[in-house]
């Protein structure tokens, strides 16, 4: 009854172009923000944070990043894992301090604040993403996917071999030292659930708002024009190389942030092949596809679906039905896989489309004609 | 008959036609061994409606593609605004103020009508990536300014009601109109229309003709169009180029073209006796 724009008049283009034009949506958005920032931190324990909230938040960032590239700009990428690795290792270098040799002289950069480290790591990843995005001018579709696969394997190989990247540690792992934000530890062994949660939540909120602003404005239209019909985009004056490369840059920036958080705040210690392998690329791509291509909300929905579903299944199978853990773990894969297929057949445009249809119905409810 | 002097004249219905805006000089375009266009020269004057007609396969669309930078002719020069145009990419041609529509509609199907028309103004939107990400301030101001311009065009073409409809849902005739809106949004100096009335019924053709005349009249936009419907072409255009088998066989006012023997032969065929 109250979910409609009737009577909710817009008198300026600013109002008309806002993210949530319907009042109810707007309040719901503020409500979600309020709950996420003010209520959840007080109700958390370690299990909830580590099993659900942290992976959900971090994968949401990665999915938003990939969605900009795949969903908005139409450039398929399988290099997400590799780009997350760049973010993780760059963050590691920034937070532990970097030694650089220039002309035979060693310069030592002091360790940088963790918040800045994460953002700078995103910046480094953006540069790497642009480099691997260069072939996108010439190759399209599946062929581009294969080209980005090269990025995935190359980057993982690089961080295995390049000792400088992991500070010559004997194990080849990188370990996040303890770092503080406003005196509260957010990385290292002594973190508290609410601190790490809030740290990631701040990034998620910023990333989502930035992504939304970019996709609703001129850049977003350029990307979507390239996605829908690149020839027509060029004829109206869109430089295809520039548009594609900015998409790669922005996408990689967000994915780099996700990688940095994944390593420093969530896992704490990372071995590159294990944490950022090809599996990660596919996982994030599935999130984007299941959530809905070309939708910020879809990125959240997809991340939630693929993070929550296994946890839920485990709780039902092991906790509810009392099955042995190993059997449940194997069946979990089967069920998740089957659900993904069933879901994609039922709604190929993803959870975001379901959400859109539901809203469409709600607007007319209870008089659908 | 009008006096078509070099710096312009006034048409019977009172529109001002200026000097030469674009000139094609001896254009030859080959695809491998096939000559699509052979040594064609013609000019487009400021403010006029210029038509290119000809039977199927005459090279009309190729000519339009040369103008919009899709094809690079092997020989000949394109002169635009008094200077020879160097070889450039289609998007650079667009940035110079040449907009076009396509024979088969080339809209962005995944976007709404409003977004589609807004893409026409991408060249005018110069805000950097960072201010766009922040949105408040510069980017928002620019968005609203351009939205105002776009709304005027939406008003003009009477597509207000479908503003927020995804283009994929629209019928053919409306899609053609949206495509015209997108091209107009760029405020082009020359508007190239590739068969704007193909596949339309009589009423839709009348609507479209009216819009084309209005655009020319209201914004003073120079229009170069390809069309098969002879009635439409003869009524709308100030001057007509006739092509056949890649060659120019006629050029002049509709009346001149209509009485040109070569044109009549091309359209009606020649008796071989």
All structural domains of chain A:
22-364 (1.10.3470)
Structure confidence at residue B1 (pLDDT): 42
- The secondary element (H helix, E strand) that includes residue B250 is strand B247-252
Ranked by mean pLDDT, the top range of A44-48, A126-130, B124-128 is: A126-130
Q: What is d(CA A315, CA A321) in angstroms, rounded to the nearest whole number? A: 9
Beta carbons of B122 and A236 less than 8 Å apart: yes
- The secondary element (H helix, E strand) that includes residue A244 is helix A240-261
Structure confidence at residue B192 (pLDDT): 94
Q: Are strands B83-84 and B98-101 parallel, antiparallel or unpaired?
A: unpaired
pLDDT at A4 over 70: no
Nearest Cα residue in chain A from B136: A213
Structure confidence at residue A369 (pLDDT): 67
**Residue of A180, A258, A197 whose CA lies nearest to A39:** A197
**Rg of chain B in Å (alpha carbons):** 19
pLDDT at A25 over 90: no
Top pLDDT among A244 and A98 is at A244
B163 touches chain A (CB under 8 A): no
* Least confident range of A145-154, A174-183, B98-107, B188-197: A174-183
Residues A172-185: tens digit of each pLDDT: 888 888 888 888 88
Structure confidence at residue A360 (pLDDT): 81
Q: Where are the alpha helices (DSSP H) in B53-196?
A: 60-67, 90-95, 113-119, 129-134, 138-156, 172-185
Residues A282-300: tens digit of each pLDDT: 999 989 988 888 889 999 9
pLDDT at B252 over 50: yes
Mean pLDDT, chain B, integer: 88
In this prediction the ipTM stands at 0.88
pLDDT at A320 over 60: yes
Structure confidence at residue B5 (pLDDT): 63
Total Cβ atoms within 10 A of residue A225: 28
Identify the three-state secondary structure at position B50.
strand
Segment A103-127 shows an average pLDDT of 88
Structure confidence at residue A272 (pLDDT): 85
Note whether A252 and A83 are within 8 A (CB): yes
**Residue of A358, A136, A113 whose CA lies nearest to A245:** A136
Structure confidence at residue A55 (pLDDT): 93
Structure confidence at residue A5 (pLDDT): 67
Residues of chain B contacting A229 with CB distance shorter than 8 Å: 106-109
Beta carbons of A17 and B120 less than 8 Å apart: no
Beta carbons of A235 and B109 less than 8 Å apart: no
**CATH code 3.40.50.2020 for B1-97+188-273:** no
B103 touches chain A (CB under 8 A): no
Count how many Cα atoms sit within 13 Å of the Cα of residue B107 in the half-sphere of its side chain.
Answer: 28
Nearest to A213 among B125, B133, B186 (CB): B133
Burial of B218 (0-12, 13-18, 19+ CB in 10 A): exposed
Top pLDDT among B209 and B6 is at B209
Percent of chain A with pLDDT over 90: 37
Segment B233-242 shows an average pLDDT of 90
Segment A247-273 shows an average pLDDT of 92
Residues of chain A contacting B90 with CB distance shorter than 8 Å: 234-235
Write down the domain spans for chain B: 1-97+188-273, 108-185
């Amino acid at each position: 009854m109250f979910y409609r724009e009737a009577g909710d008049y817009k008198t300026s283009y600013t109002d008309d172009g806002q993210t949530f034009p319907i009042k109810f949506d707007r309040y719901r958005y503020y409500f979600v923000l309020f709950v996420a920032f003010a209520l959840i931190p007080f109700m958390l324990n370690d299990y909830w944070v580590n099993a659900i909230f942290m992976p959900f938040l971090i994968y949401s960032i990665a999915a938003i990043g990939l969605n900009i590239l795949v969903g908005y700009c139409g450039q398929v990428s399988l290099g997400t894992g590799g780009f997350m690795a760049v973010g993780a290792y760059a963050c590691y270098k920034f937070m532990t301090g970097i030694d650089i040799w220039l002309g035979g002289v060693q310069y030592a950069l002091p360790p940088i604040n963790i918040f800045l480290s994460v953002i700078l790591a995103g910046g480094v990843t953006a540069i790497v993403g642009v480099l691997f995005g260069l072939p996108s001018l010439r190759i399209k579709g599946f062929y581009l996917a294969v080209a980005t696969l090269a990025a995935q394997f190359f980057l993982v190989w690089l961080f295995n071999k390049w000792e400088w990247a992991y500070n010559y540690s004997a194990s080849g792992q990188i370990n996040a030292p303890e770092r503080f934000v406003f005196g509260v530890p957010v990385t290292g062994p002594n973190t508290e659930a609410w601190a790490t949660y809030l740290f990631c939540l701040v990034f998620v909120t910023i990333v989502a708002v930035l992504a939304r602003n970019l996709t609703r404005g001129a850049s977003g239209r350029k990307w979507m024009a390239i996605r829908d019909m690149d020839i027509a985009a060029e004829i109206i004056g869109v430089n295809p190389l520039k548009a594609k490369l900015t998409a790669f840059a922005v996408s990689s920036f967000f994915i780099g942030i996700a990688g940095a958080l994944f390593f420093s705040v969530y896992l704490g210690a990372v071995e590159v092949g294990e944490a950022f392998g090809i599996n990660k690329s596919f996982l994030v791509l599935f999130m984007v596809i299941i959530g809905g291509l070309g939708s910020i909300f879809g990125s959240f929905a997809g991340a939630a679906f693929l993070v929550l579903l296994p946890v839920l299944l485990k709780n039902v199978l092991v906790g509810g039905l009392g099955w042995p853990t190993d059997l449940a773990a194997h069946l979990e894969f089967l069920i998740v896989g089957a659900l993904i297929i069933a879901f994609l057949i039922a709604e190929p445009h993803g959870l975001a489309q379901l959400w859109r249809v539901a809203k469409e119905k709600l607007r007319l409810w209870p008089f659908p004609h | 008959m009008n006096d078509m002097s070099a710096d312009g004249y006034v048409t019977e219905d009172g529109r001002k036609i200026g000097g030469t805006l674009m000139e094609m000089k001896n254009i030859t375009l080959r695809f491998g061994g096939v000559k699509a266009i052979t040594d064609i020269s013609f000019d487009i004057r400021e403010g006029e409606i210029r038509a290119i007609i000809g039977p199927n396969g005459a090279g009309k669309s190729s000519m339009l593609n040369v103008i919009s930078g899709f094809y690079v002719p092997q020989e000949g020069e394109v002169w635009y605004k008094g200077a020879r145009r160097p070889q450039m990419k289609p998007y650079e041609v667009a940035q110079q103020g040449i907009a076009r529509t396509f024979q088969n509609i080339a809209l962005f199907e995944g976007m709404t009508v409003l977004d589609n028309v807004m893409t026409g103004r991408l060249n005018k939107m110069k805000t950097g990536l960072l201010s766009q990400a922040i949105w408040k301030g510069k980017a928002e101001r620019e968005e609203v300014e351009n939205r105002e311009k776009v709304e005027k065009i939406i008003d003009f073409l009477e597509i207000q009601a479908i503003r927020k409809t995804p283009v994929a849902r629209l019928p053919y005739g409306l899609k053609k109109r949206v495509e015209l809106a997108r091209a107009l949004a760029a405020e082009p100096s020359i508007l190239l229309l590739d068969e704007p009335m193909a596949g339309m019924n009589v009423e839709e053709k009348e609507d479209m003709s009216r819009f084309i005349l209005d655009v020319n009249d209201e914004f003073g936009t120079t229009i170069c169009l390809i069309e098969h419907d002879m009635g439409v072409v003869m009524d709308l255009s100030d001057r007509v180029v006739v092509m056949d088998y890649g060659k120019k066989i006629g050029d002049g006012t509709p009346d001149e073209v209509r009485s040109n023997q070569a044109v009549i032969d091309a359209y009606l065929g020649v008796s071989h006796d």
